[in-house]
Amino acid sequence: MVVTSIHHHTGFETMRRQAAARVLSALILFGAVAYEAQADTQTGPTLPPPPSVLYGDLFVAVQTAQVYPDQKTFVDATPKADPATIVAYYEQQKNNPGFSLSAFVAQYFTPPTDQVITPPPNQTLREHIDWLWPRLTRVTTSATVPANSSLIPMPKPYVVPGGRFREGYYWDTYFTMLGLQEAGREDLVDDMLDNFAYLIDTIGHIPNGNRTYYVSRSQPPFFSYMVELAAQKEGGRVYQKYLPQMRREYAYWMQGAGALKPGDAARNVVMLPDHTVLNRYWDASDTPRDESYLEDVTTAKQVPGRAPNEVYRDLRAAAESGWDFSSRWFGDNMTLATIRTTSIVPVDLNSLMFHLETTIARGCGEARDFGCVAQFIGHAAKRALGINKYLWNDKGYYGDYDWRLAKPRDNVSAAALYPLFAGAAWPERAHRTARAVEAQLLKPGGLATTTYTTSQQWDAPNGWAPLHWIAIEGLKRYGRSELSQPIGMRFLADVKNVYAKQQKLVEKYVVEGAGTGGGGGGEYPLQDGFGWTNGVTLKLLDLYGG
């Protein structure tokens, strides 16, 4: 292979050393930014930097030239030689007559492959989901992940969503776990909990996914819900077992809170004028996302008068939210170029933080640390007050708050039901929210994500499995089964309809109009597999017959 026959002449060796030095200094810079939380807590192996840092100008050239149609392909590719050597060789060759970037990339990188799922014929929907679990399960330990891969090893097996999503994702995993538990796979539930505990212990938080280019951010913090799920089967000892990791995750999300002044924000925390502290989505990096480089550069060019790094930070923060992208984050409710994610205090994130605080209190109770119990009950009580002061819209629903503009966002969405799901909603407001959701979001195929049609995937006419589960559980918690049942049954019918026609479960669904089916919009084609749809569908089959 050409990789092993590089001529180490003096000029090339000098270039190789220069490239290695550039990679090293970039790694130091990256470590100061994206790995800030890792520095104080890491006990595992040091991770390589993300591909944008590892390959520098070569990365920019590959993504800009669209060597692969999907920007995620290159960052998931495996190098066939040391990155510094590849970069040096690129610098040596790139200006040569007839140089082909695509041929160079093919020579020095092995691209990933999407798993094509071809099920046996005539499976029922339940049989198909049971058949899928082992096909979506991965084992990628430090012994099996190639050197300089962007994949972060994890000690135990885990389930991936499917398609282009070849790694585990933080918030997806909770909804996948629901189905695994329903299918009797408590072993995988425990394995994935242990993996996330490992990531918290070694990196300092649970990244967006187990890729180096995801480390600079997290995702909606469902870890406490995963602990609660396991505890339902295995008892209260689970709360105590994962208490250190829950407390460390809480510290990650609350970094900088102690030094804030009213009207200021730092990282994931915002202090409002009355000293209320709430959370926002944020990313430690302010560059284009590795996995969507060209899309982000293009978006930033469409925003006159705004520094590109501010736009990149808001795009990345939306990726942390899991709602990438949605009118929830747009200044005009319609256009990606008006994105202002870091200016928004989100109702879903703060509801999840409320649950994290109450679950930590539960774990401290199991450990008989009553000072900690009192402390975190206090945190949760303040959080509930903050949610009901700032994240209540007088139009009759829970929603987001723009802390920079000091006003609620008039954008009803399926996230309105998170305070019900977490138990932070006031009963009268829970019922008003239920009425608003029924009037504005309930469609023939289930619950629309928002009221806006923007061409983004987290907007109308799409509906998503995790948001249906949040809605069902939240409404049931406040005694609104007469609404939760039609939401669940309509979405289940949509899933069944697509499966009957195509023999697949997909990432998202169209829930509006007569033509319900697989959803669209966003940065990539519709993916099938699909982890969280499988998990929620199994729960719905058992709830509503199947």
Q: Which residues are catalytic?
A: 324, 507
Angle in degrees, 0-180, between the axes of helices 370-390 and 347-366, rounded to the nearest 10: 160
Question: Can you tell me whether residue 445 is helix, strand or coil?
Answer: coil
Query: Residues of 349-364 as b/e, b for ≥16 C-beta within 10 angstroms?
Result: bbbbbbbbbbbbbbbb
Could you tell me how many residues make up the chain?
Answer: 546
Distance separating alpha carbons of residues 247 and 249, to the nearest angstrom: 5
Query: According to the annotation, is 164 in a ligand binding site?
Result: yes
In angstroms, the CA 179 to CA 190 distance is: 13
Q: How far is CA 441 from the centre of its chain?
A: 23
C-alpha span between 74 and 129 (Å, rounded): 30
Is 322 assigned to a binding site? yes
| Alpha helices for 70-185 (secondary structure H) | 71-75, 83-93, 101-108, 125-135, 170-182
* Separation of alpha carbons 153 and 139, rounded Å: 9
- Determine if residue 171 is labeled as part of a ligand binding site: yes
Q: Is residue 290 annotated as involved in ligand binding? A: no
DSSP structure string for 145-161: SPTT-SBPP-SS-EE--
Distances, alpha carbon 502 to alpha carbons 119, 122, 400, 425, 505, in Å: 11, 12, 37, 40, 8
Q: Is 217 annotated as a binding residue?
A: yes
Sequence-distant (≥ 6) Cβ neighbours of residue 405 within 8 angstroms: 343
219 annotated to bind ligand: yes
523 is in an annotated binding site: yes
Residues that constitute the known binding site: 164, 171-172, 208, 217-219, 322, 523
Residues that constitute the known binding site for substrate: 164, 171-172, 208, 217-219, 322, 523
